Amino acid sequence: METNPPKRRDNKKSLRVKVISLGNAEVGKSCIIKRYCEKRFVPKYLATIGIDYGVTKVQVRDREIKVNIFDMAGHPFFYEVRNEFYKDSQGVLLVYDVGLRESFDALDSWLGEMKQEMGSQANMDSIVFVVCANKVDLTKRRVVDEGEGRLWAESRGFHYFETSAQSGEGINEMFQVFLAHMRSFLYMFFYGPCFSECRVLHRRSSPPSLTCARTAESARCRRSASASPKSRLTPSDVSATAKTRGICWESNPGPRGESPAYRPSFQ
């Protein structure tokens, strides 16, 4: 008796990545987004009212990824608007102006607001954070040096970049790090439903490892209930599977001397 083979899912569909920007007013969040999405700089300051939005498309292998960036207004008045947009974020851009000490000191408050809205540390752990020291082109007015900003970021496990929305310095490299470290999102797309139930641990100095979030319930993520630890999915299994799909993990020295980061290379 002939049976119809299962239909393959449409591999040509676009992925959507959600990134939000946080930081005080006038630190350059909107300008960073416009520089990345529209390849232009807007010199005149226009305050963001509630939420602004930018989108751009990038190609990963032969797939299209839509990067959706939500620019959160920095004024306290818009708190009730901001709190609706924290959920389901894969990346967070923490922005401060290197010429405004108060914008740097406020980063802890922005993290606190986000933690309050996210509800649990587990939700925060699955997000990629990048600290963006903006307006580095204005060297004469700088009051927060690179060492201080980098220490704050790396002590919390965040990535750190020095950027200038005016010149474009560091903008593309910063968003490349976002995409390279949103591994759980890319795994779920390239490897199918099994990986949607697994959480990728983001390690900056080692290849990615996996822990199954629902091992007891999911037969897809384990061989059997009595399987030994050696028979379960391991990072080496992932690497072997990835090679068959044209994906390998390569170590890249981070920009400006940043620690090496493993990222997917799509062949």
CATH number of the domain residue 54 falls in: 3.40.50.300
30 in the same domain as 59: yes
- Closest residue by Cα to residue 91 from 175, 31, 34, 162: 175
Distance between CA atoms of 123 and 127, rounded to whole angstroms? Answer: 7
245 and 130 housed in the same domain: no
Q: Which domain holds residue 251?
A: 184-266
pLDDT per residue, tens digit, the chain (267 aa), is 555 555 555 556 667 888 988 999 889 888 888 888 888 877 666 666 656 777 888 876 677 888 888 888 767 666 677 777 788 888 999 999 999 999 999 999 999 988 888 876 657 778 899 999 999 999 889 999 999 999 999 999 999 999 998 888 989 888 888 778 875 556 555 554 444 343 334 434 433 333 333 333 333 433 333 443 433 334 444 334 333 333 333 334 444 444 333 333 333
DSSP 106-133: THHHHHHHHHHHH-SHHHHHTSEEEEEE
What residues pair up with 131 in beta bridges, in sequence order?
Answer: 94, 160
pTM above 0.85, yes or no: no
What is the CB neighbour count within 10 angstroms for residue 233?
A: 19
DSSP string, 144-163: S-HHHHHHHHHTTT-EEEE-
Residue 60 pLDDT: 67
Q: How many other CB atoms are there within 10 angstroms of residue 237's CB atom?
A: 11
One domain for residues 177 and 75: yes
Task: Round to whole Å and give the CA distance between 162 and 256.
Answer: 9
In a domain, 117, yes or no: yes
Last residue of a domain, one of 181, 206, 241: 181
Calpha distance 76→68 (Å, rounded): 23
Domain count of the chain? Answer: 2
Please indicate, yes or no, whether residues 199 and 261 belong to a single structural domain of this protein. Answer: yes
Contact 89, 18 (CB under 8 A): yes
Task: Give the Cα separation of 162 and 173 in Å (integer).
Answer: 10
**Residues 179, 60: Cα–Cα separation, whole Å:** 9
Which of 134, 156, 181 corresponds to the end of one domain?
181
Claim to verify: residue 64 and residue 160 sit in the same structural domain: yes
Residue 1 lies in a domain: no
Residue with tokens 């990615």: 208
The candidate with the shortest Cα–Cα distance to 32, out of 162, 144, 149, 151, is 162
